[in-house]
């Protein structure tokens, strides 16, 4: 199961959203703190300004009345609040300390009694009376305000812009990853557009050059193999004709057998060199396997017992020519190196379909499994003269990958060799299943 967080875009998106959320939260908290401090500084400056204005008023125009909320109180009056600050909350206590710092030395600063309009009582050593002025109440910042709305709007636009940038950044990498996957399966790879940052453009350019060089090398090798194999077919046909005209039956049979082996090798060369797409009609794998196995039992002399376990169902489809070549090569390989019974099995899984062919021979040594599918490699050189070119498993691997599948070769349960081929649902030929939709 694919996890979105496992992709480059998923991780970039998660990183971008986390960074933006952290930065916006920090900015919002800092703004609220700064606004609270700004309110406190403004209240202190306003109180200091009012107290200084009252002093100047008393000194210059003592006969003029004061504003209604500003008054002078005699120090002996019982209305003077106590000097204790034990009941004051910390913000108010800091406010009083800030006001005291703005006043002359030894100035007394007190706040009015609770429950009444907030007032500030100030008396400097030079003041005859207490100066009482109104102050702004120190309100706590509201938990939700218009800033939160703007913050959400800005955050949403920032996330959308960042996700678009992350998508644009990972898109060339996704195209390159798809091209690498196609190249690994042996499928044709068109040039990948060179986009994105400089390092990514350099990587894409190097990959395109590598694909071109590999394709050129494969083409040269295929042309050489096809040319040699094609040129050998005519002499081999003449050689077989002349061999069949020999009088000595023993010699004739030996020469014909050798010519047949050489002809089989030439046909393997041609099949391996063929690099075109299979355009044959898709067929049901289960039914075709049954037909091929039945035909193989009838025409192959000394063929081992071949059993079938076909459980994939009619929706498992592969091109007919590709399937025939896969089955013939693997059955020939099991006939040459394995032991009966040979089992051809299909199955349906949650990811797709599987096709496997296994025998009960000695299998392949663990150190030789990695070389089993390499072209022109024969793990049993002593049998190379029996028409075996070392291309059988290499041809099967190429055909499976060209059909969009994956293969696995190994010994199963210590009883012989098994070739397991897996074909995901998305790579199978799209054929209209009228019968399935009708019922």
Residue 160 scores a pLDDT above 50: yes
Residue 379 has which token pair? Answer: 């793990």
CA separation for the pair 138, 40 (Å, rounded): 7
pLDDT band (50, 70, 90) for residue 347: very high
Ordered by start, the domain boundaries in the chain are 4-134, 279-438
Q: What is the CATH number of domain 279-438?
A: 3.30.565.10
**Residue 379, preceding peptide bond in cis (omega within 30° of 0):** no
The verdict on whether omega for the bond into residue 341 sits within 30 degrees of 0, i.e. cis, is yes
The least confident of 123-137, 139-153, 210-224, 279-293 is: 139-153
Q: Is the pLDDT score of 27 beyond 80? A: no
Q: Tell me what the mean pLDDT of segment 280-305 comes to.
A: 80
- Predicted confidence (pLDDT) at residue 128 exceeds the cutoff of 70: yes
* Over residues 251-262, mean pLDDT: 74
SS3 121: strand
Cα→Cα distances 351→184, 207, 246, 347, 427, Å: 20, 30, 58, 11, 11
pLDDT digits (tens, 9 = 90+) for 92-102: 788 888 888 88
Going by pLDDT thresholds of 50, 70 and 90, the confidence category of residue 299 is: low
Higher pLDDT, 23 or 384: 23
Chain centre to alpha carbon of residue 280 = 35
> How confident is the model over 227-251, as pLDDT tens digits?
666 667 777 777 777 777 777 777 7
pLDDT at 345: 94
- Residue 417: phi and psi, rounded to 5, are -90, 140
pTM value is 0.46
Distance of CA 187 to the CA centre of its chain: 22
404 SS3 class: coil
306-310 and 342-348 strand pairing: parallel
SS3 letters across 130-169: EEEEECCCCCCCCCCCHHHHHHHHHHHHHHHHHHHHHHHH
| pLDDT greater than 80 at residue 339 | yes
Share of the chain above pLDDT 90, in %: 8
Q: For 129-140, what is the mean pLDDT?
A: 76
What mean pLDDT is reported for the chain? 77
Question: Nearest Cα to 397, choosing from 344, 322, 331, 316?
Answer: 322
Tens digits of per-residue pLDDT, 318-331?
988 888 888 888 88
- What are the distances in angstroms from CA 355 to CA 106, 153, 221, 371, 418? 97, 55, 30, 22, 10
SS3 174: helix
pLDDT in tens, 371-427: 665 655 555 544 444 444 456 687 788 888 888 888 888 887 767 889 999 999 887
- Residues 35-78 have pLDDT tens digits of 777 777 888 888 888 888 888 888 888 888 888 788 888 888 88
């Amino acid at each position: 199961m694919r996890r979105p967080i496992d992709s480059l875009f998923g991780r970039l998106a998660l990183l971008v959203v986390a960074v933006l959320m952290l930065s916006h939260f920090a900015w919002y908290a800092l703004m609220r703190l700064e606004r609270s401090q700004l309110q406190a500084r403004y209240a202190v400056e306003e109180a200091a300004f009012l107290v200084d204005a009252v002093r100047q008023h008393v000194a210059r125009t003592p006969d003029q009345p004061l504003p209604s909320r500003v008054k002078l109180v005699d120090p002996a009056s019982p209305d003077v609040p106590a000097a204790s600050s034990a009941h004051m909350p910390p913000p108010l206590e800091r406010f009083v300390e800030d006001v005291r710092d703005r006043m002359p030395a030894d100035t007394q600063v007190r706040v009015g009694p609770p429950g009444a309009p907030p007032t500030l009582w100030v008396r400097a050593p030079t003041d005859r009376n207490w100066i009482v002025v109104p102050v702004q109440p120190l309100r706590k910042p509201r938990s939700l305000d218009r800033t939160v709305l703007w913050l959400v709007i800005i955050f949403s636009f920032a996330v959308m812009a960042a996700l678009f940038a992350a998508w644009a950044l990972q898109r060339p990498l996704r195209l390159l990853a798809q091209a690498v996957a196609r190249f690994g399966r042996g499928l044709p790879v068109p040039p990948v557009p060179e986009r994105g940052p400089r390092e990514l453009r350099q990587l894409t350019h190097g990959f395109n050059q590598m694909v071109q060089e590999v394709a050129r090398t494969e083409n040269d090798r295929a042309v050489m193999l096809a040319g040699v194999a094609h040129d050998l077919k005519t002499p081999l046909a003449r050689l077989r004709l002349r061999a069949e005209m020999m009088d000595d039956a023993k010699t004739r049979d030996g020469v014909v057998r050798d010519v047949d082996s050489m002809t089989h090798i030439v046909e393997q060369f041609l099949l391996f060199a063929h690099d075109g797409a299979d355009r044959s009609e898709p067929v049901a794998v289960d039914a075709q396997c049954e037909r091929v196995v039945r035909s193989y039992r009838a025409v192959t002399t000394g063929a081992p017992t071949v059993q079938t376990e076909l459980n994939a169902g009619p929706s498992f489809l592969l091109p007919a020519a590709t399937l025939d070549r896969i089955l013939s090569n693997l059955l020939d390989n099991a006939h040459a190196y394995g032991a009966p019974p040979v089992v051809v099995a299909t199955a349906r899984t949650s990811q797709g379909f599987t096709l496997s062919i296994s025998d009960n021979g000695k299998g392949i040594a663990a150190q030789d499994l990695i070389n089993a599918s390499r072209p022109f490699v024969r793990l049993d050189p002593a049998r190379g003269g029996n028409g075996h070119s070392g291309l059988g498993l290499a041809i099967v691997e190429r055909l499976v990958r060209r059909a969009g599948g994956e293969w696995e070769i190994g010994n199963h349960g210590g009883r012989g060799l098994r070739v397991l081929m897996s074909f995901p649902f998305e790579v199978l030929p799209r054929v209209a299943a009228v019968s399935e939709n009708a019922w």
